[in-house]
Amino acid sequence: MASFLLRRLILAACVALTVLTLAFTLTRLSGDLAISIAGPSATDADIAIIRTAYGLDRPLPEQFLAWVGRAAVGDFGESFFFKARVSSLIAERMPITLSLGLTGLGIALLVSIPLGILAAVREGSWVDRLVQLFAMIGQAMPSFWLGLIMMIFFGLQLGWLPVSGTGSWEHYVMPGTVLAFSAIPALTRLTRSGMIQALASDYIRTARAKGLSRFSILFKHALRNAALPVVSIASVQLGFMLGGSIVIETVFALHGVGFLAWESITKNDFPVVQAVVLVLAVIYVVLTLLADLFNAVLDPRLRG
């Protein structure tokens, strides 16, 4: 177990370092950053000053090492556009994105686990087909479009939910639902196939031979085993959702990290962009680590 964890940690660190390099390279793609920072009206002298001020005149490897050194302690520099510390900008916006992601994951699990179980129990029936069709429709749904349609319907025509902003919990219902749609197909399919596999197993036959109730067979014996892959995919999906929330935050004007990233991209505010890429990647890596840990708790075979 300990060596398994250590290996996972080393892998996570390597991944983080790779993404770090990528995030750095990404922002140097556009050529001379000093020109983009200074803006169109700047003189050559202004650009020279900016270049020295941001250390852009030094060799790239040196810039990279300096950036990595500071990023390692959570210092991502200062935003050009917001004139604030990038770290505090992200910290300020993170709660909104996390709330959105967790709401989305919560809704996704609430929908997909019962649906997956239902489809598995009625495998091959019209219920099963309907659930699979639903998953397929969810997979084909453009999230930004679904968001707009929901706005028209629930926001304007029915007037049930606020159309944008972050004032109350109601503000998270629509974006959360839209975000959930990105995870529902995968989670439903996984629950379904996991349950079908579990229900066909020898230990379920034993459970039936023991005369256990249908409830206990389904929810105690089968679901516990089917839940293992669902748990790990759910945390991975949360990572994807946080990364994908940029679209939904923009649609619903939720001022989270995704919205921040989008603003920064349009403003060429590269310290913010690379910091958000890095933070989201690290969150993803941490989530997959947590999934492994959680799996180890749930699956006695992994505890060793």
Partner 1 sequence: MSLLEIEGLEVTFGQGEGRVAAVRGASFSLARGETHCIVGESGCGKSVTSLAIMGLLARGATRQAKRMEFDGRDISRLTEREMSRLRGHRIAMIFQEPMTSLNPAYTIGSQMAEVRTRHLGGTKQAALDRAAELLGRVGITAPGMRLGQFPHQLSGGLRQRVMIAMALMNDPELLIADEPTTALDVTIQAQILRLLAQLQAELGLGLLLITHDLGVVARVAHRVSVMYAGEVVENAATADLFAAPRHPYTRGLLECLPIPGKVAPGAPLGSIPGMVPKLTPGFTGCGFRSRCSLARAECAAPVALRGAPHLYRCVVDA
Partner 2 sequence: MRRSGIWIGGAILTLVVLAGVFAPWIAPHDPYAQDLTRRLAVPFWMEGALPEHLLGTDQLGRDYLSRLIFGARVSLIIGAMVVVVSGAIGITLGVLGGFFGGRVDDVVLFLITCRLSIPVVLVALAVVGLLGSSTTLVVAVLGLLLWDRFAVVARATTMQVRNLDYVAAAWAAGSSTPRILISEVLPNIMTHLAVVGTLEMALAILLEAALSFLGLGVPPPLPSWGLMIAEGRDFMFFSAWVIWIPGIALFTLVLAINLLGDGLRDLFGAAPS
Q: Which stretch binds partner 2 (CB under 8 A): 44-52, 216-224, 258-266, 291-299?
A: 258-266
Angstrom distance (rounded) from CA 227 to CA 192: 10
Q: Which stretch binds partner 1 (CB under 8 A): 48-56, 85-93, 198-206, 260-268?
A: 198-206
Handedness of CA 233, 238, 243, 247 (dihedral sign): positive
The item of partner 2, partner 1, none sharing an interface with residue 75, based on CB under 5 to 8 Å by kind, is none
- For residue 56, give the DSSP letter: T
Q: Quote the distance between the C-alpha of residue 204 and its chain's center.
A: 35
Q: What are phi and psi of 167, to 5 degrees?
A: -60, -45
Six-digit token string for 56: 């852009």
Asked if 209 touches partner 2 (CB under 8 A), the answer is: no
When computed from its CA atoms, the radius of gyration of the chain, rounded to whole angstroms, is: 24
Six-digit token string for 196: 């079908």
**What interhelical angle do 126-140 and 86-121 show, nearest 10?**
160
Measured from the Cβ of residue 292, the count of other Cβ atoms closer than 10 Å reads: 16
Asked if 197 touches partner 2 (CB under 8 A), the answer is: no
Six-digit token string for 10: 């080393």
Asked if 137 touches partner 2 (CB under 8 A), the answer is: yes
User: Cβ of residue 247: shortest distance to partner 2, in angstroms?
Assistant: 5
The item of partner 1, partner 2, none sharing an interface with residue 1, based on CB under 5 to 8 Å by kind, is none
Asked if 247 touches partner 2 (CB under 8 A), the answer is: yes
Residue identified by tokens 């031979």 is 209
Choosing from 210, 219, 253, 297, the residue that interacts with partner 1 (CB under 8 A) is 210
Count, residues near partner 2 per rule CB under 8 A: 50
User: Cβ of residue 119: shortest distance to partner 2, in angstroms?
Assistant: 13
Q: Which stretch binds partner 1 (CB under 8 A): 68-76, 157-165, 182-190, 219-227?
A: 219-227
User: Cβ of residue 128: shortest distance to partner 1, in angstroms?
Assistant: 13
Asked if 208 touches partner 1 (CB under 8 A), the answer is: yes
Angstrom distance (rounded) from CA 235 to CA 13: 19
User: Cβ of residue 218: shortest distance to partner 1, in angstroms?
Assistant: 13
Q: Which is nearer to partner 2, 212 or 286 (CB)?
A: 286
Q: State how far the alpha carbon of 250 is from the alpha carbons of 118, 220, 233, in Å.
A: 35, 42, 26
Angstrom distance (rounded) from CA 71 to CA 84: 16
Q: Which stretch binds partner 2 (CB under 8 A): 49-57, 73-81, 140-148, 215-223?
A: 140-148
Q: 264 to 303, contacts with partner 1 by CB under 8 A?
A: 298-301
User: Cβ of residue 290: shortest distance to partner 2, in angstroms?
Assistant: 14
Q: What are phi and psi of 123, to 5 degrees?
A: -55, 130
Binding site for partner 1 (CB under 8 A): 201-203, 205-214, 216, 221, 224-225, 298-301
